[in-house]
């Protein structure tokens, strides 16, 4: 159990309706059916791209479609399921087909495409004064977080090649955002700051490299210790802990602040124990539990960790939930619309 949950006995990871009503179920079955097809395309590439690879990837997809069809025929089976369960079934099916990480290559390509853009971006950040710098960094998180191969609308944008960081920046809605507590966050940042932050990151590529890395660097510059935590096992295009270590190994040659923080231990990458694009904070890694216990700031980034799960969870420390709403049902759950931006800041004493 994550140690900073305010009421651990009452913790519910995922409150989004899935199989509890017919309309929600029909929606999610269609979403997952489309998602599985897309995962199978990436899985076939990872498995070698030949006929045998296509057969392997498609065998997983067919099994998964049969599972969805069964839920459609017998909705009672879906009543107690959540999005977390369907994600787990998907990943298991591809692993059973011998494909451990269907998005391995696409994540690698996206990281490689984003990395060369980082030095100029950091230079642009450094030319800004406070508080404009923090507003720019928050916008960067939203732009980076558009890269998501779990939901239909952004998958289509990805296929059309509309995923440059700069074009994503142009898609960020103007402030005030749908949920916009940024001014309160900036006030607390400038007035008191934090000793130690636990930062849950989301996707590989622009999200981690051009969104979360510059934001993390700013916390480090302010003197905050940062525990940077990514999934232990692959799921969709989320960056894994192993991939994060590799990435930091490259970023340290691009930026002295991150290099110094890695050397001194001010920046500490720690695996979360999670293997899903959403996160059940009652099932995290013991190592993270130890490192998180004395944190006074928690950042949950991305729709899966900050909205589809944990949106209503209260924590004992100051908390930021930051995400782009890239799925209509999830957007509605957060009271918003597709491609609304959420920057929810919940100080511990409120």
Q: Which residues bind Mg ion (CB under 5 A)?
A: 202-203, 238, 277
Q: If you write DSSP's letter for every residue of 275-303 in order, what string do you get? A: -SSS--TTS--HHHHHHHTT-SEEEEESH
Contacts of 212 (CB under 8 A, 6+ apart): 141, 144, 199, 201, 202, 301
Q: What is the dihedral of CA 79, 82, 86, 87, to 10 degrees?
A: 180
Give me the least distance between CB of 150 and Mg ion, in Å please.
6
Rounded Cα distance, 57 and 37, in Å: 9
Shortest Å distance, C-beta 99 to Mg ion: 18
Least distance (Å) from Mg ion to the CB of residue 240?
11
CB of 326 to Mg ion, least distance (A): 10
For residue 277, the minimal CB distance to Mg ion (Å) is: 4
- DSSP H helices, the chain, are 22-46, 51-73, 83-96, 104-114, 118-126, 132-144, 152-159, 165-171, 182-191, 206, 213-221, 241-251, 256-264, 286-292, 303, 328-333
Nearer to Mg ion, 6 or 34 (CB): 34
For residues 155 and 261, which CB has a smaller minimum distance to Mg ion in the complex?
155
Dihedral sign for Cα atoms in the order 159, 163, 167, 171: positive
Torsion of CA 288, 262, 144, 149, to 10 degrees: -50
Which residue is listed with tokens 């009672």?
Answer: 76
Closer CB to Mg ion, 139 or 277, in the complex: 277
Minimal distance in Å, beta carbon 189 to Mg ion?
Answer: 26
- How far is it, in rounded angstroms, from Cα 167 to Cα 120? 16
Handedness of CA 298, 301, 305, 306 (dihedral sign): positive
Nearer to Mg ion, 202 or 296 (CB): 202
125: number of CA atoms within 13 Å, CB side?
26
Cβ-based nearer residue to Mg ion, 238 or 280: 238
> For Mg ion, which is the closer residue by CB, 202 or 280?
202
Select 163 or 189, whichever has its Cβ closest to Mg ion.
163
Task: For the CB of residue 140, give the shortest distance to Mg ion in the complex, in Å.
Answer: 17
Comparison of 159 and 192: residue with beta carbon closer to Mg ion: 159
- Asked whether the beta carbons of 279 and 301 are under 8 A apart, the reply is no
Q: How far is the CB of 76 from Mg ion (least distance, A)?
A: 30
Q: Closer CB to Mg ion, residue 53 or residue 212?
A: 212
Residue with Cβ nearer Mg ion (87 or 238)? 238
Neighbouring CB atoms inside 10 A of 96's CB total 11
In angstroms, give the least distance from the CB of 196 to Mg ion.
24
DSSP 226-273: EEEEEBSS--TTBPBHHHHHHHHHHHTTT-HHHHHHHHHTSEEEEE--
Whole-number minimum distance, CB 123 to Mg ion, in Å? 28
């Amino acid at each position: 159990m994550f140690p900073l949950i305010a009421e651990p006995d009452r913790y519910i990871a995922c409150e989004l309706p899935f199989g509890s009503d017919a309309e929600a179920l029909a929606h999610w079955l269609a979403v997952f059916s489309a998602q599985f097809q897309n995962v199978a395309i990436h899985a076939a590439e990872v498995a070698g791209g030949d006929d045998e690879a296509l057969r392997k990837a498609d065998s997983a997809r067919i099994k998964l479609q049969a599972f969805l069809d069964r839920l459609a025929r017998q909705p009672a089976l879906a009543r107690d399921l959540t999005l977390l369960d369907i994600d787990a079934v998907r990943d298991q099916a591809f692993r059973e087909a011998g494909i451990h990480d269907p998005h391995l290559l696409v994540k690698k390509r996206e990281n490689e495409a984003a990395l060369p853009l980082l030095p100029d971006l950091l230079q642009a950040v450094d030319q800004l004064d406070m508080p404009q710098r923090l507003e720019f960094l928050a916008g960067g998180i939203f732009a980076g977080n558009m890269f998501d191969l779990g939901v239909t609308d952004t998958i289509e944008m990805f296929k059309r090649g509309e995923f440059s960081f700069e074009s994503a920046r142009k898609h960020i809605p103007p402030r005030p955002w749908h949920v916009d507590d940024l001014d309160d966050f900036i006030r607390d940042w400038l007035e008191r700051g934090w000793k130690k932050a636990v930062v849950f990151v989301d996707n590989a590529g622009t999200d981690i490299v051009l969104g979360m890395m510059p934001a993390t660097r700013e916390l480090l510059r302010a003197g905050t210790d940062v525990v940077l935590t990514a999934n232990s096992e692959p799921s969709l295009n989320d960056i894994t802990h192993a991939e994060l270590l590799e990435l930091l190994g490259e970023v340290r040659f691009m930026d002295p602040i991150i290099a110094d923080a890695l050397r001194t231990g001010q920046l500490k990458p720690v695996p979360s124990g999670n293997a899903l694009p959403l996160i059940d904070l009652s099932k995290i890694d013991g190592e993270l539990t130890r490192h998180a216990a004395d944190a006074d700031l928690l950042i949950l980034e991305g729709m899966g960790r900050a909205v589809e799960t944990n949106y209503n969870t209260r924590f004992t420390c100051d908390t930021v939930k930051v995400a782009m709403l890239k799925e209509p049902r999830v957007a509605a759950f957060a009271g918003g619309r597709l491609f609304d931006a959420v920057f929810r800041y919940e100080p511990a004493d409120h």
